[in-house]
Amino acid sequence: MSYKLGEVILSRDTIARRVKELASEIVADNGTDNGLVVVGILTGASFFLTDLVRELPEELDARIDFMSVASYGDGTKTSGVVRIFHDLKSSIEGKNVIIVEDIVDTGLTLSHLLDILKSRKPASLKVCVLLDKYERRQTEVKVDYCGFRIPDKFVVGYGLDCAGKWRHLKDIKYVVEE
C-alpha cells in the first residue's frame, strides 16, 4: 500500500500560536519555583517538545529527558504492543514531570507509559499532547494539556511520520491511501 500527502489541517503558524499558549498554561498551573522534568517521547514529539520548552520562562528550572516507545510499525494502525526502546537517564522520584507526546489516539501507549512513570514516584505527573484523536480511545487517559483535537485520520508533519516519511514537514497534513 502506498500513501500520498493530503491537505494541510494545521499550519505552522497555527501550531506555533498554540504551543505558546500551552507553555503559558503549564507555567500558570505549575509556577516557576519547583522545577519541571519535561519527558519527550521520541521521535515524534521532538519537534513539539523543542518548541514548547523554548516558550517556558528562563526562571523555570526545566530539565529535559527522553523516552522512546512505540506501538506502530510501518503502517498507519497501532499494533497494540508497546515497546520501550530508550528509557530515562535520570530519576524522576519526587519531581514534577510532564510527558510531552506528539499524538494520543487509542491511549494504550500513553496509559502504559503513565503506569511505568507513576511507579517511579514523581511528585506530580501530567501529560501534554499536541494532537488528540479522542474518538479512537480504547482506554481512558487524562490529558492535562492538549494542543488540538483532530478527527480519526492519519496525519504527518511536525514530527509525525508515516513509515519514516514526512516527519520534517512544517505543517501537519492528512495522509491519503493511493
- Contact between residue 173 and residue 1 where contact means Cβ atoms under 8 Å apart: no
Integer-rounded Cα radius of gyration of the chain: 16
* Residues sharing a CB contact under 8 Å with residue 32, sequence separation 6 or more, in sequence order: 57, 59, 60, 61
Residues 6+ apart with CB under 8 A from 129: 100, 101, 102, 103, 104, 110, 143, 145, 146, 147
Question: Helix (H, G, I), strand (E, B), or coil: what is residue 107?
Answer: coil
Residues involved in catalysis:
105
